[in-house]
Amino acid sequence: MSAETQDLALLARESVRALPLYAPEAADDALDLSDSVNLWGTPPAALRAIADPTREHLSRYPSPRSDSLTPALLRYLRLDKTAGVRAVTGCGSDDVLDAAMRAFGAAGDRIAFSAPTFSMVPLFARLNGLEPAPIAFREHFDLDVDRLAATGAKITYLCAPNNPSGTGISRAAVEHVASVATGIVLLDEAYAEFAPESFADLVGRHERLVVVRTFSKAFGMAGLRIGYAAGAASVVGMIERARGPYKVNVLAERAALAALADTSDGLGWVREHARLAVEVRDRVATALTAMGFPPLPSAANFLCVPTVDAARLATRLRERGVLVRQFAGLPREPRPLVNAGGSALRVGIGPWPLMQRFLDAFAEACACE
């Protein structure tokens, strides 16, 4: 690199220079369980909807704010009859979270969250000049509501079910946070379709609460990059402004609409495969427990396995063509993470034959010394 290009890099904002480049591990022929996408694929109705892009008028801009999609999103969340609620879409829910931080967080403001949580949150926080305020979970991954509130944060981020732990939080805890917070509360429900319940309905009762969802997980459309949020019109309107127009492309909007249609190959497909994922997840959890690696209780389509051996096991799994996400340095609370020295593996769930392949590789990986 020439001296000149180095100098130019120094012109970048300090918060940008300090950021690592997000570079998840990838391998062409590996069984990739490292992110929690839908390993069954994409709803057939969504695939059909984008099969003939010449009919999509690709030469034109999409609607600035996904006008055809937002009513369907509110209907799906059962918020269409709730007065004063509005939906905003984005290029993945990452984009919506980023825009929300930009809309409500001025430089130096705090964003509070229970840690460990979605790794993008502290990253987007720093990029937007916000100060991350991580608060350890309490025992059993309960929210420490008092300490979250005591941060006086402009934004509180909740993730239910939580990534990477997979654990759920209680409705009472969400309501408690929404009633004591002084800023806005972003409730990330990326994995709601796998969870016993959603808290999206609370949006109608708590004006500061915004529920954030995605088509990347249960809906099997991570590659199309589409996410959304719903909340009070006054709050969501600000996220829309910060987000900017045209973030969701024509194909993504059409595919999302098709996947939300109440048909067996649209929403029916999504629900059926979410149910399957939960079934397979519980089978894999039982198998791992029998091998001496009890995962945390999961309400999502992945399992978090606290183990001091996380790094070694991840390497050995990779040698056997299986990719999982490895975590180290997680907060030393609560108990299962303390015992594992803050290390864990996160394993995405897919069709049983793939999981059988994972379990075989895992058995080999922990047997060899």
Ligand X SMILES: *Cc1c(COP(=O)(O)O)cnc(C)c1O
b/e sequence 256-277, b meaning 16+ C-beta within 10 Å:
bbbbbeeeebbbebbeebbebb
Residues numbered 149 to 168 that lie near ligand X (CB under 6 A) are 159, 163
CA 194 to chain CA centroid, nearest Å: 12
Residues numbered 169 to 208 that lie near ligand X (CB under 6 A) are 188, 190
Place of tokens 């987007």: 124
Token pair for residue 33?
A: 């369980």
Token pair for residue 297?
A: 């209780």
User: 94 or 361, CB closer to ligand X?
Assistant: 94
Q: Which stretch binds ligand X (CB under 6 A): 22-30, 91-99, 149-157, 283-291?
A: 91-99
User: 158 or 361, CB closer to ligand X?
Assistant: 158
CB of 204 to ligand X, least distance (A): 22
User: 84 or 223, CB closer to ligand X?
Assistant: 223
- Bridge partners (DSSP) listed for residue 131: 110
- Bridge partners (DSSP) listed for residue 156: 112, 185
CA 311 to chain CA centroid, nearest Å: 23
Q: Which stretch binds ligand X (CB under 6 A): 14-22, 86-94, 145-153, 353-361?
A: 86-94
Residues numbered 213 to 252 that lie near ligand X (CB under 6 A) are 214, 216-217, 222, 227
User: 77 or 359, CB closer to ligand X?
Assistant: 77
Residues numbered 250 to 269 that lie near ligand X (CB under 6 A) are none
92 sits near ligand X (criterion: CB under 6 A):
yes
Q: Which stretch binds ligand X (CB under 6 A): 92-100, 122-130, 166-174, 290-298?
A: 92-100
Total residues contacting ligand X by CB under 6 A comes to 13
118 sits near ligand X (criterion: CB under 6 A):
yes
User: 157 or 359, CB closer to ligand X?
Assistant: 157
Strand order in 209-214's β-sheet?
85-90, 227-232, 209-214, 184-188, 155-159, 110-115, 131-136
* Whole-angstrom distance, CA of residue 315 vs CA of residue 57: 46
* Whole-angstrom distance, CA of residue 333 vs CA of residue 345: 16
Token pair for residue 345?
A: 């593996």
CB of 159 to ligand X, least distance (A): 5
CB of 312 to ligand X, least distance (A): 25
Q: Which stretch binds ligand X (CB under 6 A): 89-97, 142-150, 168-176, 332-340?
A: 89-97
115 and 137 Cβ atoms separated by less than 8 Å: yes
DSSP symbols for 252-300: HHHHHHHHHSSSTTTHHHHHHHHHHHHHHHHHHHHHHHHTT-PPPP-SS
User: 34 or 216, CB closer to ligand X?
Assistant: 216
Q: Cα–Cα–Cα angle for 27, 30, 36, nearest 5°?
A: 90
User: 89 or 151, CB closer to ligand X?
Assistant: 89
User: 66 or 93, CB closer to ligand X?
Assistant: 93
Residues numbered 334 to 363 that lie near ligand X (CB under 6 A) are none
Residue ranges in contact with ligand X by CB under 6 A: 92-94, 118, 159, 163, 188, 190, 214, 216-217, 222, 227
